[in-house]
Amino acid sequence: MFKQSLMIFLCHLCCIGPLSTLQGEEGSVQAPGWPSRDAQLDALPGFQNPPLGYGEVPFWWWSGEDLDVDRLLWQLRELHQKGISGVQVNYSHYDTPGWLSDHDDPALFTEDWWQIYSRVSEECVKLEMGIGLSTYTIDWPRGAKNLFYQLFYSKPELNAIALKTGAKHRLRGGETMTVAVTDGQFAVRAYQRTDGQLMRGGLDLSSLIKDGSIRWTAPAGEWEIWTFDAVPKAGSLNPLMANSGETVIQGFYQKFEDNNQGKSSKGLNYFFNDELHIGLDKFAWNPDFPEEFRRRKGYDLLEVLPAMWVEMGDITPKVRMDYADVRMSLMEERYFKPIYNWHASRGIIFGCDPGSRGLKPNEFGDYFRANRWYSAPGHDTPGGNADPIKGKVSSSIANLNQRPRVWLEGYHSMGWSATPERLMFATRENYLYGCTLLNLHGLYYTTYGSHWEWAPPCYHFRMPYWEHMGTFLKYFERLSYLMSQGHTVADVAIIYPVAPYEAEMDGDAAKNTAFDLGKKLLAAGINFEFIDHQSLARAEVKDGHLVLPTAGASYQALIFPGMEAVRWKSIEKAAAFAQAGGTVLAVGALPTVTDRAGRNDAQLKNLNEQAFAAECRLPSTEAALERIRHAFVQDIHGLSGTVRTLHRKIGPRDAYLVMDAKPGDVVEFRAKGAVEIWDPWTGAVRPLRVVRETATGTQVELTLQPYEAQLVMFTPGAKHHNPAKQNASRSVVKTLPNEWTVSFVPTMDNRYGDFRLPVTPENHTIGLEARRFAWARETPELAIAAMLPHTDDSAWQTQLHGYGPQLYLLGPIPQSVDAAKLDAELAQLKRVDPTVPVALGEFTFNWQPYEFSWRYGKEGDPGHQGYHGLKGTISEDFIRLGQSVEVGPGVTVLAAEAHQRYYLWSSVTLAEPVVATLHVGDAVPVSLPNTSQGVAPAAVFINGEHINDFTQPVSLKAGTNPLLIRYDDFGQSHVVLRRQDTPLPEATPTLAMRWYQDPGVIPFDAYAGETSAEWFRFLSAPATTAIQVQALSREPIQAWLNGKPMLDRGDGRFEVQQATATAAVVAVRLLPESGKGGGAAIPEPILVETSADGIMPLGDWSQLGILNNYSGGVRYRTTLTLSEQEVTGAVELDLGKVTATAEVSVNGKQVGVRVAPPWTFDLSGTLKVGENEIEVLVFNTLSNHYQTIPSHYRGDPVSGLFGPVKILSFSDELIRDQ
């Protein structure tokens, strides 16, 4: 079966283009994204046109809504157009105990799910992409019945086993004791105690077991009886068990081939373990562990087993290290390695993001050894950040074990304002630390009306800048290809300190020393790798270097970071290296323990003397850094300041990824030959200027900005030809005007309801809209002035469409205030005047409007959602009292304020008497994570009468019925009056409270029957030509633009009589229905139409009225007239500053796209004498749209072309190279 599948796979690969050869456990096959280590590789063709497998691979979250094949295929094709190599399916989790996977229909691994997965995989084959599945949430042994629980964890015979001790019994010679033996105890031994310490050896008492107990008389001396238990852990998997990896393969991974088209691995790629939880740490056990221990270590574990808990003399740390080694070996051989081989033999990239991201060396027992069994060891970096230690741990594992890629999971929780500029800075930096496979965390199957997210943003086709994202992705596709080939060059190896953890000898101190030194080395421009004890044991000492031929590694310095415990082979190799002239440093503590003999080993003392010369025993990482600086010729040295680099040997070339050098800086490289700079933006290659060649290297003048990554490439043996140096001076030809002609380019495709539900013809594409308004109830003065453009509305209230004043809130009020007296007073109110304070003894309070939407509830607080953002639910509890407190990632709950008594007042206004039912929230204590307590009203008054029984019908009169509600605690609640004779709706509308569109709900009327026209004003977009208003008004709606009446075309459409090029004030007047005032009178945004001839200044468009909520594109246009002299030679357009991306065209011809600084464009040859048209198409982020969505990840809506925009010219004068 396997050979047949592999042949099909190979035949497919031969058809889809040039691929690299991989060296897997099953031999050599070709596969996308697997690099070449060929010493003769010419990487330039692959750099310029990368082969398959080097593009971005996003996490594709299949949560939030039922899966639809057509929608999935549409998304896949969108991704393919931007060069994305593959996708990795993920499932989020609920925040309920156990963290159950969040999946809609169909459920994982059901027949319907396999049909969908297989169809998507089939499409991936057609598109030359790959698809895999992450085990995020589905393999977590947290107690929830996720997929792996169903497949494996629910089977007791597969459960992990923990080694534990039972009660211990101490007795002297001649004493007799009976010890009960329980199920699960596999050994009972007596150990002699001498001078208060257990002695090696002991007596096996198992043969004395009779009727469930042991009766034993101690011989002479002092003894201690130990019982050892093997305790299964329900709901887990035992990775030490024989065939554990094969069990997972057959039950999980093999299913993908079995259910794939043609039962092959075609289309499968990019599987992933995310935050894997496996094993039981230190005391993981298996029944054959003692036998394996004896076979591998040569002595009986049971004779020294108490040393795992207590001191047994000098041998104690050796026992612990030996136990850890056997445990890790079994886990590798039986679990990790078979799964790796299954993937590698099929050419499938298998990545990971472990829980500690390399920052906990003893994760899994030994982080290095566990994670070498991935073809793409990796980690995540949240936000827009880079992490040097995570990067160096992952890349060191990959380099030393010749794994093809280093997986970078970035950048969850950055928010909806994430820009490619921020991504560019972080990702360049992460590639400097060795990452080579870019995985953007956010790609959502759905955003469900903008109310589903998982550690946002979604970086892909929903973002306005998606049209330009191909430029960003191609940059890193080229960089990923290049920096995956060949091998890393580093002078320094820092031992990754696992042994101190195994020996239980201050592992954290060693780790902190290692990581601190690593950061200092990188900051000083000195590259290094972490090295594990097994790689160090394999290393050879040659010509004063520590060499790993299979990894291409050659170190000049080896550092022990404060390690009191080391492996014997590590110190042996260190001594041999030092004696051969290598630099071996000990920072802090010297080794005192090894796995050879434990403590007090004379041979260790001798090797320490050989390994660590006196001057190499250093007290601090600062001292170590200084020692390294002067120990050998550095690989790179900035003559004008420190620069950082990652050096790889790629075929015959030396490739340096350099950062921090300014234009004109001279940097000396420890390399010779022809030197070029390769441009990941375009694939172009050009020579750099060599200042001079030194005895050990070459001094080169660099040209890019310090935040850019400069790919400096040396070809040894090739003759270098210096380019002519151009005069660096440049002059400003023209500064373009501050005001530009603009038109708007909507990008928010709502065909699947991603941004708004339900989908309607009006919102199929979401463009310019008015969502927030300055709002006031009409007065005689406003009746004649509210429509005028210069009327001051700064004191008006702000209203969001759909949200309006429904109640008035008083409080929180001190508990010391007499509640009964205040109840009686407030219950008699016929109307609330918010301008009149309420005096309560020494306290004074004001009624505050309490606004909510009958659809979405309280603005900004839709109730419980879950981790990492909105989850598509709206709480029915629109009354939310207390302060909002963040308790988790993207999670807030209501908490107590200084006082906890609140009053809410409103009324209901009716044309005729009505019998109503009262629906109130219950007092519900917090029983689930991340939830707010439910609170019931302490008292309700209607028409001044106290309602004693909330279950009884309430008689409401025609006219106004005042309503007073008192709460004596914080929390979430609701109070709703429904017509008793109106049936409940059969279903709740999508993404809404259950009260929404319920004809039985009686709306509140905060104005107690007092009607008034209301005014809504907003600064509209430049060149507004029409608006479309959906409003609840009892008389015809009126609209004005800059004080001039707009033409009412019916059905809420209003057109301007004469367009205004600049942004103009729109005023709308209406008479709302009772209880539907404020923003509630306008349930949907007002749609805005414009012409293509608007005028807008440069700057932040989010500060310009309704554009605060506009996510999309703006096309800026201007003209300039140039002379023949001004268009001759090198000419550059400098946009100044842009958020988020920009595309420039000149005279109708595209010049280029920029997604990050520098925001400059070469206009040479594109300009003409006379009039020229400059066009800049700018796309922003989704942050603007999310400003009106209750997400915690809205971000900053800053957007636009900021300028100043300049035309620059460069002198053609050349300086003769000396």
Over residues 471-485, the pLDDT tens digits come to: 999 999 999 999 999
DSSP 1009-1035: T----EEEEEE--TTEEEEE----BSS
Can you give the pLDDT at residue 726? 64
Residues 762, 765, 768, 770, CA torsion sign: positive
Can you give the pLDDT at residue 978? 98
> In whole angstroms, what is the distance from residue 627 CA to residue 503 CA?
29
> How do residues 130-142 score in pLDDT, each as one tens digit?
999 999 999 999 9
DSSP 678: E
> In whole angstroms, what is the distance from residue 534 CA to residue 596 CA?
15
Contact 456, 442 (CB under 8 A): yes
Q: How confident is the model at residue 13 (pLDDT cuts 50, 70, 90)?
A: very low
DSSP 50: -
- Of 6-15, 446-455, 718-727, 873-882, the one with minimum mean pLDDT is 6-15
For residue 555, give the nearest of 434, 671, 647, 657 by alpha carbon.
647
Q: How many CA atoms lie within 13 A of 544 on its CB side?
A: 7
> In whole angstroms, what is the distance from residue 970 CA to residue 883 CA?
8
Contact 1142, 1202 (CB under 8 A): no
> How do residues 919-977 score in pLDDT, each as one tens digit?
999 999 998 889 999 999 999 999 999 999 999 999 999 999 999 999 999 999 999 99
Can you give the pLDDT at residue 549? 95
Can you give the pLDDT at residue 312? 98
> Does 262 score more than 90 pLDDT?
no
Specify whether domain 488-629 bears CATH 3.40.50.880. Answer: yes
> In whole angstroms, what is the distance from residue 368 CA to residue 401 CA?
10
**Which residue is it, tokens 């994305």?**
84
Q: How far lies 747's CA from each of 757, 1109, 1113, in Å?
A: 17, 13, 7
> How do residues 559-602 score in pLDDT, each as one tens digit?
999 999 999 999 999 999 999 999 999 999 999 999 999 999 99
Express as a percent the part of the chain with pLDDT over 90.
92
Can you give the pLDDT at residue 25? 39
DSSP 252-321: IIHHHHHTSGGGS-TTB--EEEES---S-GGGEE-TTHHHHHHHHHSS-GGGTGGGGTS--STTHHHHHH
Residues 98, 101, 102, 104, CA torsion sign: negative
Q: How far lies 746's CA from each of 78, 750, 1195, in Å?
A: 17, 11, 20
Can you give the pLDDT at residue 937? 98
Domain residue limits, the chain: 2-32+41-156+241-279+331-485, 160-233, 488-629, 638-721, 724-767+1110-1218, 823-829+855-979
Can you give the pLDDT at residue 727? 58
How many other C-beta atoms are found inside a 10 Å radius of the C-beta of residue 383? 14
Q: How confident is the model at residue 724 (pLDDT cuts 50, 70, 90)?
A: confident
For residue 290, give the nearest of 326, 252, 329 by alpha carbon.
326
HEC readout, 1074-1105: CCCCHHHHCCCCEEEEECCCEEEECCCHHHCH
- Longest alpha-carbon distance in the chain: 114
Can you give the pLDDT at residue 731? 85
> Does 23 score more than 90 pLDDT?
no
Q: Which residues pair with 659 in a beta bridge?
A: 644
Can you give the pLDDT at residue 280? 80
Specify whether domain 724-767+1110-1218 bears CATH 1.10.287.610. Answer: no
Can you give the pLDDT at residue 331? 98
Q: What is the CATH number of domain 2-32+41-156+241-279+331-485?
A: 3.20.20.70
Contact 654, 682 (CB under 8 A): no
Q: How confident is the model at residue 694 (pLDDT cuts 50, 70, 90)?
A: very high
> How do residues 1141-1175 score in pLDDT, each as one tens digit?
999 999 999 999 999 999 999 999 999 999 999 99
Q: Which residues pair with 232 in a beta bridge?
A: 161
> How do residues 381-414 score in pLDDT, each as one tens digit?
999 999 999 999 999 999 999 999 999 999 999 9
Q: Which residues pair with 655 in a beta bridge?
A: 648, 713
For the stretch 222-238, what's the b/e string if a residue is b when 16 or more beta carbons lie within 10 angstroms of its beta carbon?
Answer: bbbbbbbbbebeebbbb
Q: How confident is the model at residue 728 (pLDDT cuts 50, 70, 90)?
A: low
> Does 469 score more than 50 pLDDT?
yes
Q: What is the CATH number of domain 638-721?
A: 2.60.40
Average pLDDT, the chain: 95
Express as a percent the part of the chain with pLDDT over 70.
97
Can you give the pLDDT at residue 476? 99
> In whole angstroms, what is the distance from residue 83 CA to residue 477 CA?
8
DSSP 688: P
